[in-house]
Amino acid sequence: MVPLGVIPFHFPGLAGISCAFTTRRGGASLTPFDGANLSFDVGDDPAHVAENRSALAAQLGFDAWSELRQVHGDTLIIEPAPTPPDAAATIEADAQATSAHGQALCIKTADCQPVLLAHQSARFVAALHVGWRGNVMNLPGKAIARLCAHYGCAPRELFAVRGPSLGPACAQFTNFAQEFGEEFLPYFNRKAETMDLWSLTRAQLAGAGLAPERILSLDLCTLSNPADFFSYRAARTTGRMMALIWRD
């Protein structure tokens, strides 16, 4: 099998934390999931998905992982138990945090924003699945408040990185008034009917107390780069990438 395409990321000046964002390149899945689909929940051949996931774990070298059944909510799971990589996730949530060594937190996406967080001491990490519904309910702000309360730290002690996702020019919402509302107008282009979800998420992270210089991003649009990324906007039947973070 062709190795999976992976974009590694390291927070500047922060040792002991590894991050990775997968692409659709490589892998064993066939049309219409061509490449490295990592989700059991989209109709792909389970054998191909399991092969892709096993290859990813071996390629990145973490010890275990924790995966969620993502439901576009605002639930945060603290210290989740490891989940089997060869089975679909069952715990419904869209955010998780751990202090365990070697346990990767996984977020699956195909346009939604994966947001990875790390404490400046590297003593815990977190991962958020921020779809547009997550933005509307301010998942970034709620999750940061909860995990800081649990781990006894201040938001300014956190780093964040947002991975590849639907870019500002492609995030069209023709029902803006019903789906978002007036408070989100600063991020809405009325003429094009597009939302700048990247800037919105950045503002929500900053509003939660993160220092602006510690809010980082990979500004790669999933819809605009079909050779590299799955996109639900481009094709309803498609695969999922993963964003992962773990303590080394």
Among 131, 70, 142, which Cα is nearest to 106's? 70
How does pLDDT run across 44-68, given as a tens digit for each residue? 999 999 999 999 999 999 999 999 9
Q: What is the pLDDT of residue 85?
A: 86
Who has greater pLDDT, 161 or 84? 161
φ, ψ (nearest 5 deg) of residue 175: -115, 45
Which CATH number fits the domain 6-247, given the four candidates 3.60.140.10, 3.40.50.850, 1.10.10.10, 3.40.50.880?
3.60.140.10
The side-by-side arrangement of strands in the sheet containing 76-78 is: 76-78, 95-98, 125-130, 113-119, 158-162, 215-217
pLDDT tier for residue 157 given thresholds of 50, 70 and 90: very high
Mean pLDDT for the stretch of residues 226-243: 97
Who has greater pLDDT, 85 or 30? 30
pLDDT tier for residue 233 given thresholds of 50, 70 and 90: very high
Q: What is the pLDDT of residue 11?
A: 98
- Residue ranges per structural domain of the chain: 6-247
Tell me if 197 sits within 8 A of 171, measured CB to CB. Answer: yes
Q: What is the pLDDT of residue 100?
A: 98
pLDDT tier for residue 2 given thresholds of 50, 70 and 90: confident
Mean pLDDT for the stretch of residues 84-112: 96
How does pLDDT run across 199-210, given as a tens digit for each residue? 999 999 999 999
Mean pLDDT for the stretch of residues 146-162: 98
